[in-house]
Amino acid sequence: MPFRQRAAATTRAGDRADDDVRAIADVAKALGTATDAAAVATAALKAVRTAFGWAYGSYWQIDHGQRALRFAVESGDAGDEFRAVTQQASFAEGVGLSGRAWRSRDLVFVADLAEVTDCVRAPAARKVGVKSGVCFPITVAGQVVGTMDFFATETLNPSPSRLQALRTVGRLLSSAMERMVETAASAQAATQLITSIREISSGASRASAAAAEAVHRVAVARDTVAGLGASSGEIGSVVETITSIADQIETEQQPPHRRASVITHRSTVDATCRSFGW
In tens, the pLDDT along 32-47 reads: 887 888 888 898 999 8
Query: Does the pLDDT at position 225 exceed 50?
Result: no
* ∠ CA 31-35-38, rounded to 5°: 80
Q: Which residue has the higher pLDDT, 265 or 62?
A: 62
> Strand runs (DSSP E) across the chain, as ranges?
56-63, 68-76, 90-92, 108-110, 133-140, 143-151
When mean pLDDT is compared over 5-9, 65-69, 230-234, 261-265, the highest value belongs to 65-69
% of the chain beyond a pLDDT of 70: 59
Going from the C-alpha of 113 to that of each of 45, 100, 109, 118, the distances in angstroms are: 19, 13, 9, 10
Q: Is the pLDDT of residue 56 over 90?
A: yes
pLDDT of residue 107: 97
* The pLDDT of residue 24: 86
CA gap 43, 161 in Å, rounded? 23
Query: In angstroms, rounded to a whole number, what is the distance separating the alpha carbons of residues 132 and 97?
Result: 11
% pLDDT > 90, the chain: 42
Selection from 14, 22, 13, 85 nearest residue 53 by Cα:
22
Q: Is it the case that residue 103 has pLDDT exceeding 90?
A: yes
Q: Where are the beta strands (DSSP E) in 223-269?
A: none
Question: pTM of the full predicted structure?
Answer: 0.67
**pLDDT for position 35:** 80
Mean pLDDT of 166-180: 89
Is pLDDT above 50 for 13? Answer: no
Q: Is the pLDDT of residue 9 over 50?
A: no
Q: How far apart are CA 266 and CA 164, in angstroms?
A: 16
- Please say if the pLDDT value at position 163 is more than 70: yes
Q: What is the mean pLDDT of residues 47-76?
A: 93
Give pLDDT, residue 91: 96
